[in-house]
Amino acid sequence: GQQVMQIPQYQHVQEGEDFTTYCNSSTTLSNIQWYKQRPGGHPVFLIQLVKSGEVKKQKRLTFQFGEAKKNSSLHITATQTTDVGTYFCAGETSYDKVIFGPGTSLSVIP
Amino acid sequence: EAQVTQNPRYLITVTGKKLTVTCSQNMNHEYMSWYRQDPGLGLRQIYYSMNVEVTDKGDVPEGYKVSRKEKRNFPLILESPSPNQTSLYFCASSFVTDNEQFFGPGTRLTVL
C-alpha cells in the first residue's frame, strides 16, 4: 500500500546545531504538509507545499518539496530548545487520502 | 475561539464495554478525521468524513465506527473495545482534504 517514511526516527542535537528530517513517499503526492507535536501536545500545522521543487522558509525553518513530488525535507538552522518535539510530514495522495509519516523526534541539548 | 474539542481526555475501560469518544469543531469544516497514535507508528487514520452523512475507512478502521449526522460532530465508537485499541486518539478537521488540519487535544484510552 501507499506509505510515507521519515528518517531519522530520532535525532539528538546540541543547541545551535542544525537539524534535518527527510520524508519519502512510495507514490506521487498532490501536496505535503508538515506538523509539529510538542511533548504531551497535539500536532500543529506548520506549512503546506504544493508545487514541484517548492521551497518555503519560516524564520529558521526551511521546507522543500522534491521535483518528483515524492519526497520532502524540513531543515532547522541553529536549533533552540523550543524546537523540541516530533515533526510529522503528511502527504495527500491522488485519492484524497492523507497519509502521515511516523515522525522524527527531535531532542535539543542545552 | 476556533477549536476542536474531544471528550473524554482520558479513559480507562475494560474489554467489551462499549464507549464513545466525542469530537466537535466550531469552524464549519467539512472534512473531519480520526487518528490513532502509537509509538513508532506515527498517526494512522481510522476513519474520515468529507461531509455530513459521508464517511470512509482510513488505514486502520477495524473495531471502530463513526457517524456524521451533523457538520460539527464526528464521534468515534468502539462497540467492543479490546486491549490492542489502547492508544492516543486525535480528532482533526479542515475545510477540505488539502487544507491544514486542526487537531483536538487527544484522548488517551486504556483498555484493560
pLDDT at B99: 82
Q: Does A31 touch chain B (CB under 8 A)?
A: yes
A2: pLDDT strictly greater than 80: no
Sheet holding B65-66, edge to edge: B4-7, B19-25, B76-78, B65-66
Pick A61 or B2 by higher pLDDT: A61
Query: What's the mean pLDDT in A83-108?
Result: 90
A16: pLDDT strictly greater than 90: yes
Contacts of A92 in chain B (CB under 8 A): 97-98
Mutation to test the B interface, candidates A32, A88, A98, most B Cβ within 10 Å? A98
Would you place residue A34 in the very low, low, confident or very high pLDDT band (cuts 50, 70, 90)?
very high
B97: pLDDT strictly greater than 90: no
A95: pLDDT strictly greater than 80: no
Grid coordinates belonging to A92: 495527500
A62: pLDDT strictly greater than 90: yes
Query: What's the mean pLDDT in B74-98?
Result: 94
Grid coordinates belonging to B85: 485499541
Q: Does A7 touch chain B (CB under 8 A)?
A: no
Would you place residue A97 in the very low, low, confident or very high pLDDT band (cuts 50, 70, 90)?
confident
| pLDDT tens digits for range B13-66 | 999 999 999 999 999 999 999 999 998 888 999 999 999 999 999 989 999 999
Query: What's the mean pLDDT in A12-34?
Result: 96
Contacts of A99 in chain B (CB under 8 A): 45, 59
Residue A88 in contact with residue A72, Cβ under 8 Å?
Answer: no
Inter-chain residue contact A102 with B41, CB threshold 8 Å: yes
Q: What is the DSSP letter of A32?
A: E
Mutation to test the A interface, candidates B91, B100, B108, most A Cβ within 10 Å? B100
Residue B112 in contact with residue B83, Cβ under 8 Å?
Answer: yes
**SS3 readout for chain B:** CCCEEEECCEEEECCCCCEEEEEEECCCCCEEEEEEEECCCEEEEEEEEEECCEEEECCCCCCCEECCCCCCECCEEECCCCHHHCEEEEEEEECCCCCCCEECCCEEEEEC
Inter-chain residue contact B101 with A92, CB threshold 8 Å: no
Chain centroid, CA B100 distance in Å: 17
A77: pLDDT strictly greater than 90: yes
